[in-house]
Structure 1
Amino acid sequence: MAEVRDVVAAASELTDAEFLAVVRAVAAGRPGLGALLAAVDVGSAVPTEDPVTAEIVPDTTPRLPEPDYTAGGVPTFDRVRDRIEERVGTAIGSEELAHESPSGRSVDEQWEARKKAGKAKLDEIRRSLGKQ
């Protein structure tokens, strides 16, 4: 197997376009390198000019506001309502899941047992006082 420094030395002699081609070939078919392949594909436009002398042009395209936000960046009423509904749904769902879990059932069973014991004790006290 080749030494890492030898591979790095050989890769540093490649042009940008050649290096990107090598990265694509190495990452293809390797699920663990999917993010690397996606990053290479995003930056697939390789500049042909020398980066030191290339002119930097600011992006002046007008930015559209994100959906559900105003141009000033404030969320719309619909967005706020949707977020509240999401949170309420999550809270209700997590409560239902908690009651269906073994520990949630045991808490419910303990609560019912205490409630039953309390009612029995109250009935006993009433009987001892002569009230029924």
Structure 2
Amino acid sequence: MTDYSDITAKLAALSDAELVAVLRPVVSGRSALWALRNALDEVAQVHHAELIDNVTPATTESPVRDASSAGVESGQVGGGIPVPAVPFPPTDSPGAPTIGGYSTSGVPTFDSVRDKVEQRFGTAQGMGELDRQTPAGRSADEQFQAREKAARERLDQIRKSVRGNDVDRHDP
């Protein structure tokens, strides 16, 4: 078993920005770590925003205010309340969520296709069984069986005639 104490000690000594800079490339190609990658990206954007001196543009106050606009005043849209990003898995990961049998990119899943095929096969099989129980279905089956019987009889006649011709040739 490998001892990770040296690595963890070195990582613990890093600042937050340095740790994010180290971990982002490590998790970038791993689809199972999508949530960690999104969290690191969010933290990286926060640190990037802290480095910019003036994020809020200068706004002008309008002298006339109505009663409906009274409330929390802020120089920015959203009132300065941070909204956390909603993590979502990448579409190329094998564990991507599906909605109604389709992936997030709109491709049907194998399970949904298999279910549709099985449902159509079952419906076709059931329709065939129901058709055979109706008078029209029974008469069609009877006609098919009569044709099969006539075809077998005709084939037997042809075979007998061919055998008869073969026997005549061999007898000089």
Work out whether the TM-score is over 0.5: no
TM-score by length of 2: 0.32
Structure showing greater relative contact order (alpha-carbon pairs closer than 8 Å, 6 or more residues apart): 2
Greater Cα radius of gyration, structure 1 or 2: 2
Normalising by structure 1, what TM-score?
0.40
